[in-house]
Amino acid sequence: MWMGVVTTMPGVIEAALSEGVIGRAADQGVFDLELFNVRDHAQDKYGSIDDRPFGGAPGMLMMAEPLAASVDQALARAPDMQTTTIFLSPQGETLTESTVVDLASESALILVCGRYEGVDERFVEQYVDREISIGDYVVSGGELPALILIDAIGRTLDGTLGNDASAVDDSFRDNLLEGPQFTRPRSWRGRAVPDVLTSGNHAAIAQWRRDQALLRTWQRRPDLLTQRRFSDAEKAWIRRHTHKNPQDGV
């Protein structure tokens, strides 16, 4: 996979990826990452990339041409003609695990990071294929959302994690949160690890983890279960532990 990031602050992306598994994955060629500085495409001698909005609204907007030139540069570098351009925006669809899995199947992505009060809508209309939000709140620019997306996509790619099964077991896969986990010592301040996890019975351990994932999701994020088709065994388990029929909704 190839990812290009269009940004006014390439140093933020570089610094964040200088450590950790995602940065190592990029260094090892699990995926390719290139940065494109919007300031390299300023249209005047002052290096301007933003201007006042028409209509007198407060703040400054990023101008269309520097962004367009940056994306054109990224498109020329992308290894695949079928490149999806994503604008990180609070107005976009909310990022979910299913979105991450969908994007991870792409061969080339361009992530556009906004700044200031937003960007000229004409750029969005002409260049952006998809707008994505990381949640119902506002941050100072698109760099942090882009890093979240790079991290989420990167960890799904073969070779990023030491154990590829780790990504499969993450929260939100199958619309379930991950259940509780424990490490040594077996007893800590009077709290013992559940016996089943030290039993050596792999089938029982797998069932316990599945049950705990169901229970935790039911307790903390019941909205996720509205998107899930329950097996008969799961329906029976939920009735026993919550005294509620899954078909009644959550």
Query: What is the sign of the dihedral through the CA atoms of 192, 195, 199 and 201?
Result: negative
Is 90 noted as a catalytic residue in this protein?
A: yes
Is 155 an active-site residue? yes
User: b/e map of 7-44 (b: 16 or more CB within 10 Å)?
Assistant: bbbbebbeebbeeeebbebbeeebbebebbbbeebbee
Residue 209: active-site member: no
Tokens representing residue 20 in the block: 């950790």
Catalytic residue (one of 66, 120, 143, 155):
155
Q: How many CB atoms lie within 10 A of CB 126?
A: 12
Exposure on the CB side of residue 155, measured as CA atoms within 13 A: 17
Q: Are strands 61-62 and 84-94 parallel, antiparallel or unpaired?
A: unpaired
Residue of 170, 173, 178, 210 marked catalytic: 170
Q: Is 159 helix (H, G, I), strand (E, B) or coil?
A: coil
| List 90, 115, 143, 246, catalytic entry | 90
Find, among 189, 139, 204, 143, the residue nearest to 16 by Cα.
Answer: 143
Catalytic residue among 117, 131, 178, 234: 117
Is residue 117 flagged as an active site residue? Answer: yes
Please, how many CA atoms are within 13 Å of residue 195, restricted to the half-sphere of its CB? 0
* Those residues with Cβ within 8 angstroms of residue 151's Cβ, 6 or more apart along the chain or in another chain: 22
Q: Give the catalytic positions in this structure.
A: 90, 117, 155, 170
